Amino acid sequence: MFSPNFSQMDWSISWDESYLNAYKEVFRALCLIPILHYVIAFMVIWVVFLYNFLEFHFFQDFFSGFRGAPVALTFHPTSHIYHGVVSKCKILHGRYLATPWLSSPHFQTTFLNFFGNPPAFSYRRQLFHASDGGTIALDWLTSSDISRGAFEVNHTISKEDTTPLVVVIPGLTSDSTSSYIKHLAFGLAKHGWNVVVSNHRGLGGVSITSDCFYNAGWTEDARVVIDYLHHQYPKAPLFAIGTSIGANILVKYLGEDREKVPVAGAVAICSPWDLLVSALSIPKSSY
C-alpha cells in the first residue's frame, strides 16, 4: 500500500506559504509608496527612453562646454583633392556644434520642415525629354535673377555664358520646392552661380511619361542631363551637387564614367554608404 509522506507535504505547504507571505509583505510595502513617486519614476524612464530614441546629444554638448566636436575627415594621405582643396577649407578643420535647443537630428528635420522659411523666389522651368520618353523637370535659378531681386524668373542664359553652372540632384522624395533645396539653390545663385535643379521623374509636379522610374542605381538621367548642359553651355564650368539618394546617384555616375564626366567638381551630401543596409533598415524604423 502507498503511504504518503505527510511531513514532506507539510514542509512543502509551509514553504509555499512563506513565499506567499513574502510577496504580500512586498506588495504592502509598495502600496506605502506615494503614487506621485511612481509618476515621477515613470516620467524619468520615459524621458530617458525618448532622449536615446530621438538621438539627443544635449548633455554631451553641455559637458563639453558647448565646444562641439572636431570635424572628422576621411581621406587618402596622398590625395591631390585633399591637399589642393580640403586642406584650404578652414571650416573643415574646425569644430561643429549643433544648435543646442535642436540637439536631435529628428528635431532639426522637423523644425526645418515647419519653420525653415525657404527664400521666396520662382524657378524657370524647362522640360527635358529623355530618349525613352521620360520627362525630367529642370528648374533654373540664375545669379542675375537674384541680383535683380526678381521673384518671377524669366531670365535665360546664353550659350556663351561663362558663369559657373551647378546641377542639383535632390533626395529620395525631394524636388526643387523642398525647403533645403531652395536654400541651397538660393545660396549658390546669391554667390554668383547659375543653378538648375534636376528633379527626379514623377516629381516636381511632372507626370510619369515612360515605363522607367528613378531609383538609387539609375544614373542614366543624371548622365544625359549633365551631358545636355555641357553641350548647351560649353563655356560654363559645370559642377554637380547631390543630396541623400541624389548623392548616391551622382557618386555612382562619377564612378561609372570616370574621366569622361564633363564636370569640374562635385559634392555629395549625406550619401548612403550601403544601400542594402539602408533599405533593410527603413521598414524597421518607426519614423
Count of structural domains within the chain:
1
Q: Quick check: 65 pLDDT over 80?
A: yes
Q: Which residues contact 239 (CB under 8 A, 6 or more apart)?
A: 164, 165, 166, 167, 193, 263, 264, 265, 266, 267
Residue-wise pLDDT for 117-138, tens only, equals 888 888 999 999 988 888 999 9
User: Residue 11: inside a domain, yes or no?
Assistant: no
Across residues 253-259, what is the average pLDDT? Answer: 89
User: Residue 83: inside a domain, yes or no?
Assistant: no
> Residue 254 maps to which CATH number?
3.40.50.1820
User: Residue 159: inside a domain, yes or no?
Assistant: yes
Q: What is the structure's pLDDT at 13?
A: 54
Give the domain extent around 175: 124-281
Q: What is the structure's pLDDT at 3?
A: 54
Model confidence pTM above 0.85: no
Q: What is the structure's pLDDT at 151?
A: 52
User: Residue 286: inside a domain, yes or no?
Assistant: no
* The three three-digit cell numbers of residue 225, written as one number: 542631363
User: Residue 87: inside a domain, yes or no?
Assistant: no
User: Residue 256: inside a domain, yes or no?
Assistant: yes
Across residues 239-267, what is the average pLDDT? Answer: 91
Residue-wise pLDDT for 17-39, tens only, equals 677 777 788 888 888 888 999 89
Q: What percent of the chain shows pLDDT beyond 90?
A: 30
- CA-CA-CA-CA dihedral for 109, 110, 111, 117, to nearest 10: 90
Q: Are 198 and 130 a contacting pair, CB within 8 Å?
A: no
Q: Quick check: 287 pLDDT over 50?
A: no
Which residues make beta-bridge pairs with 241? Answer: 168, 267
Top-confidence residue, 250 or 258: 250
User: Residue 188: inside a domain, yes or no?
Assistant: yes
